[in-house]
């Protein structure tokens, strides 16, 4: 059974935030104003640059960890990629905290978005640390679960494009709606992650030679 549709779908989900991040970096490096400017995005925001670069690499590289065929055939690549993804994911989470706690609050946002960012950033960093601890303890099932949760949180921006669009189309545009829809993006991803983690994993069926089948 093909295993590439899942990573490709995850890359597609992250495509809009990746493009937006690239445009933001272009604005910062050239002085152009393709993206809206506010106090949350000053002229040389180190945390924002770290966040965009690490989130782009984390979302794209992490997607291919979900290819079962790639894991089976290239176990060394899977382990090497994992060693890269943990620091990348920590950079995503910690830079998000940095942006939230240190930089001025974005205009037209409220406490719901502020605390959602803090809680989910801390949750992502915690999942990554627990994922690292469990793989070192060779508890691969727990490692898989924690890394899936961490990736789901890291991919929140992709889902937020959908949740914000749906919320504003049905409820109208307001700061409260946008903040709630943004928080919902992380919540939806976590819910999907938990359903994947708790779903019984398919066991490989033994192939039976036709001659042996006749003996049954």
Any idea which of 98-107, 133-142, 173-182 has the lowest mean pLDDT?
A: 98-107
CA distances from 122 to 42, 93, 150, 162, 200 (A): 24, 7, 10, 23, 28
Kindly report, residue by residue over 36-89, the tens digit of the pLDDT: 665 555 665 788 889 999 999 999 999 999 887 777 787 888 889 999 999 999
Kindly state the tokens that stand for 171.
């409820």
Residue 27: which residues within 8 A CB-CB, separation 6 or more? 33, 34, 35
Kindly report, residue by residue over 12-38, the tens digit of the pLDDT: 999 988 998 888 888 777 766 666 665
Three-state DSSP string of 4-41: CHHHHHHHHHCHHHHHHHHHHHHHHHHCCCCCCCCCCC
- d(CA 127, CA 19) in angstroms, rounded, equals 26
Residue 173 DSSP symbol = S
Kindly report, residue by residue over 163-182, the tens digit of the pLDDT: 999 999 999 999 999 999 99
CA-closest candidate to residue 161, choices 86, 93, 66, 59:
59
Instruction: Work out the mean pLDDT of the chain and round it to a whole number.
Output: 86
Confidence band, pLDDT 50/70/90 cuts, at residue 103: confident
- d(CA 32, CA 30) in angstroms, rounded, equals 5
Average pLDDT over residues 4-9: 85
- d(CA 211, CA 98) in angstroms, rounded, equals 65
CA distances from 31 to 34, 36, 84, 107, 167 (A): 9, 12, 31, 21, 33
Proportion of the chain above pLDDT 90, given as a percent: 61
pLDDT over 60 (residue 212): no
């Amino acid at each position: 059974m093909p295993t590439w549709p899942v990573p490709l779908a995850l890359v597609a989900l992250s495509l809009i935030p990746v493009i937006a991040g690239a445009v933001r970096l272009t604005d910062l490096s050239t002085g152009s104003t393709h993206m809206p400017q506010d106090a949350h995005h000053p002229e040389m925001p180190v945390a924002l640059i770290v966040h965009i670069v690490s989130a782009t690499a984390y979302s794209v590289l992490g997607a291919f960890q979900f290819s079962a065929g790639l894991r089976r055939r290239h176990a060394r690549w899977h382990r090497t990629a994992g060693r890269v993804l943990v620091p990348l994911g920590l950079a995503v989470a910690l830079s998000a905290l940095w942006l939230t706690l240190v930089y001025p609050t974005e205009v037209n946002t409220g406490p719901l978005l502020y605390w959602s960012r803090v809680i989910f950033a801390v949750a992502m960093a915690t999942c990554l640390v627990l994922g690292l601890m469990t793989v070192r303890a060779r508890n691969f099932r727990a490692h898989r679960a924690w890394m899936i949760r961490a990736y789901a949180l890291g991919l929140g921006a992709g889902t937020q494009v959908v949740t914000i669009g749906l919320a504003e189309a049905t409820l109208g545009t307001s700061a409260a709606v946008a903040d709630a829809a943004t928080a919902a993006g992380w919540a939806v991803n976590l819910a999907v992650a938990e359903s994947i983690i708790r779903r019984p994993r398919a066991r490989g069926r033994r192939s039976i030679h036709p001659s042996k089948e006749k003996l049954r």
